[in-house]
Structure 1
Amino acid sequence: MHVFHNPVRTVAGLGALAALPELLGERRAVLLTFGEAGALGLVELLRLRVGDRLAAVIDCITPNPDLADLELLYPQVWQHRAEVVIALGGGSVIDSAKAMLVGTPSGQFHEIRRLLRDGERFVPPAVRRLIAVPTTAGTGSEVTPWATVWDREQQRKHSLHLPETWPEAAIVDPVLMRSLPDAVTLQSGLDALSHALEAIWNRNANPVSDALALAAARSILVTLPALLRAPDDMALREAMAIAALQAGLAFSNTRTALAHSLSYPMTLRFGLPHGIACSFTLPLVARLAIGRNAERDAVLAQALGPLASAPQRLERFLEDLGVRTQFAAYGVDEAGAQAMLEAALQGDRGRNFIGAPA
């Protein structure tokens, strides 16, 4: 028996933002977004649709949310009377919003900090709902309950996961993605490819996640290079957005695996953007995955073609997009890479990998 669960109501496709008023209803909302959203006209697009139901706009979200940043953000969000948080942006914005959803007994962020660092749980006295509106095609956070939170003080990465951190709804509208810089299109697209493949070489895979991951991987391998050549092509933007959504739905049930476990120190210690950090090792992880499990091999072959040469084709795909696939290119020597691999296999996400030690 297989179980697949995802409670997020999802509206996707060109013009999907038009569904926002119905999804919000009569409730009031705080909008969380990134600093450039106003200049890009994205904030005004939302204002036009929700009017005076928008209680506040907070546009200070920066990449890779840190505990210290979220602690400052928390009272800004909770000072406004609102039942909903709308997150407009990429993964960092949506993950930051998830950390704002649960009220704490003290009214401050301390309890969430202790939850992340020490596992000290509490009963939220209040909860807000999340409508996630991604502006990148790759994060998947709009359909998952997890929020990545960085803790640079302790040099750690935390994953916030509560029943309350599932988004209530996701609006995936490629119109919001057409102004993306090429670098962000590339990084977010590779993040989505990593999500798809990580859902396949995963101990938690099931037939539903496989179907979604396969559709996503096949589409991304064709669509992403084409989109980078023609960034104004809205049909390609839509195809990429749908593929990223499918990958997000796939790993919402499997979680990620070894490539993501390897990515965290690369981002924390070496400053590598997440989409590059979780994708440059895909050929390496593919080599480690192939031959481990006949059932997984069959699915991987559907995604990548003949497995004997699949890692080399992945390398060529990434190198053609300008992404180096060796640790040395990012300042990590052979001994450091081996130590990182061994640690990653023992990590929370690494243990999902089919080649991880039992």
Structure 2
Amino acid sequence: MYWILLPSQKLKNEAGVLWSYHNPVRVQFGPGSFDQLDACIAGRSYGLVTYPDAFCTALTERLAARAGPAVVVINDVAANPDYALLQAQTQQIADGSTPEVWVALGGGSVIDSAKVFAAANGDFGNVARFLETGNGAEVLSATPIIAVPTTAGTGSEVTCWATVWNEAAGKKFSLARPNLYPETALVDPALMCGKPLALTVSTGLDALSHSLESLWNVNANPVSANHAVYASREVMDVLPALAADLENLELRGRMARAATFAGLAFSNTKTAIAHSLSYPITLKHNVPHGIACSFSLPIVIESVSGVGGLCEDALGRIFEGDMPSAVTKVSTLLTSLN
């Protein structure tokens, strides 16, 4: 499901308009933030969700040296977490010790998987029933989560939902519960240096999609819009330069900050039509999520141009009042990134 502003639904930034904004995640940002992870765990038993590569293995060893070993480790996370794998992983958790807190060390798929485990508490069937029927929320758990993103784009470290795929059924679900907001997000740009070009571009475009989509969603509000304006301008300015200089810590920091702000924007609005269009493309053709949800942005911008209110105002700030060239600017960005 998606929402998009229509001319009859103008949301104006006026004192008399009712709106709300809430995000409970404690964000700690900056190079070296990873070293605060043991303090965030604070002596609790923890489960670790991560990738099996050498980079994450080294970080896992650093963490264990300071906080002790995890009581359960799930390190076979795949892109686009799927029912079959999540069910097997949840059974692994059920067969072991139950952690007091989950640490998600990786990209959006890792953080989304951790949210599933936090809700399932060893029984994936409870999560599946909730996703498929909307029933059974009362039996879902709420184990705290500490999110440590190693990519800049998904924003999952500051949202309360997780994307879950059922490839066999050809479906995509969103696990959305207020108690799935991470307790803490440690955003350390140093963990993102050296990530490959394709991943950097895809996740960066995902962040741009989040920020722009939050503006034409009917749940847009002045706080989310300010986050979105900042994030959109930064991504469009930084991503081409970062694509040419993947080891640049300053650019990684700006991109990570923009992605976090984009997450803060759509954490209160959800996304809209560009994301809705993307899911079957990813399911059927295995197109990376950030690519699938960004290709339609120019035409959506053209469609919402003239809608007025908060959306129009924010887009004007992003594109410096030159709305006729907005479509060209975004199209040029996408072309420059191949």
Please say whether Structure 1 and Structure 2 have the same fold, judged by a TM-score greater than 0.5: yes
SS of corresponding position for 1:292: coil
Residue 278 of structure 1 and its aligned partner are, at CA, apart by 0.8
Q: Deviations over 1:46-83 (max 9, x none)?
A: 2233224x223221000001111111111222422310
- Out of 71, 84, 91, the position equivalent to 2:87 is 71
Aligned residue for 2:237? 222
Residue number among 179, 191, 197 corresponding to 1:164 in the alignment:
179
Q: How does 1:23-38 map to 2 (within 5 A)?
A: 23-38=40-55
Secondary structure of 1:99's partner?
helix
Return the match for 2:308 from 293, 303, 311.
Answer: 293
Q: Distance in 1 between matches of 2:268 and 2:178?
A: 14
Which residue is equivalent to 1:141? 156
Deviation at 1:38, TM superposition (A): 4.9
Give, in angstroms, the shift of residue 179 of structure 1: 2.8
Match of 2:19, as an amino acid?
H
TM-score, normalised by the number of residues in structure 2? 0.90
Per the alignment, residue 101 of structure 1 pairs with 118
Of 61, 65, 76, 1:60 maps to 76
CA distance in 2, matches of 1:121, 1:39: 35
Per-residue CA deviations over 1:119-146 (Å, capped at 9, x if unaligned) read: 2214237542111110000010000001
Whole-Å separation in 1 of the counterparts to 2:257 and 2:230? 10
Residue matched to 1:118: 133
Asked whether the 8 Å contact 1:114–1:120 carries over to 2, the reply is yes
> Which deviates further from its counterpart, 248-257 or 80-89?
80-89
Between the aligned partners of 1:177 and 1:236, the Cα distance in structure 2 is 10
For structure 2, the 5+ residue unaligned runs are 1-17
Cα deviation digits, residues 276-309 of structure 1 (max 9, x gap): 0011111111111111224321210111231112
Output the CA distance in 2 between the equivalents of 1:33 and 1:171. Answer: 15
- Contact 2:120–2:127 under 8 Å retained in 1: no
Do structure 1's residue 279 and structure 2's residue 294 form an aligned pair?
yes
Q: Secondary structure at the match of 1:4?
A: coil
Structure 1 counterpart SS, 2:36: helix
Residue 95 of structure 1 aligns with an amino acid whose one-letter code is: D
Distance 2:92 2:102 in 1: 12
Structure 1 segment 1-358 matched on structure 2, within 5 A: 1-38=18-55, 41-52=58-69, 54-78=70-94, 79-103=96-120, 107-124=122-139, 126-305=141-320, 306-322=322-338
| Structure 1 Cα separation of the partners of residues 194 and 241 of structure 2 | 16
Once the 2 structures are TM-superposed, how far is the Cα of residue 230 of structure 1 from its aligned partner? 1.1
User: C-alpha distance in 2, partners of 1:19/1:100?
Assistant: 23
State the AA in 1 paired with 2:200: T
SS where residue 227 of structure 1 aligns? helix
The DSSP-based 3-state class of the residue aligned with 1:285 is helix
CA contact (8 A) 1:38 1:44 kept: no
Contact map agreement 1:10 1:169 (CA 8 A) in 2: yes
Deviation beyond 4 Å, 4+ runs, structure 1: 37-40
Within 2, Cα distance between the matches of 1:139 and 1:125?
24
**Within 2, Cα distance between the matches of 1:215 and 1:48?**
38
Q: Is the 8 A contact 1:32 1:85 kept in 2?
A: yes
* Separation of aligned partners in 2, 1:111 and 1:210: 35
| Mapped contact 1:200–1:210 kept (Cα < 8 A) | yes
For residues 119 and 284 of structure 1, the distance between their equivalents in structure 2, rounded to whole angstroms, comes to: 33
The 1-side partners of 2:155 and 2:175 are apart by 15
8 A contact 2:153–2:204 mirrored in 1: yes
Q: Which has the higher contact order (CA 8 A, sep 6+)?
A: 2
Distance in 2 of aligned mates of 1:179 and 1:233: 8
TM (norm. structure 1) is 0.85
Question: Given the superposition, is the C-alpha separation of residues 39 and 102 from structure 1 closer, same or farther in structure 2, using an over 3 Å criterion?
Answer: closer
Percent of aligned positions that are identical: 45
Cα distance in 1 for residues equivalent to 2:220 and 2:162: 21
- Give distance in 2, aligned partners of 1:266 and 1:125: 30
**Contact 1:37 1:59 survives alignment (8 Å):** no
Three-state SS of the structure 2 residue aligned to 1:34 is coil
Q: Secondary structure of 2:182's partner?
A: coil
Tell me which amino acid in the other structure corresponds to 1:87. A
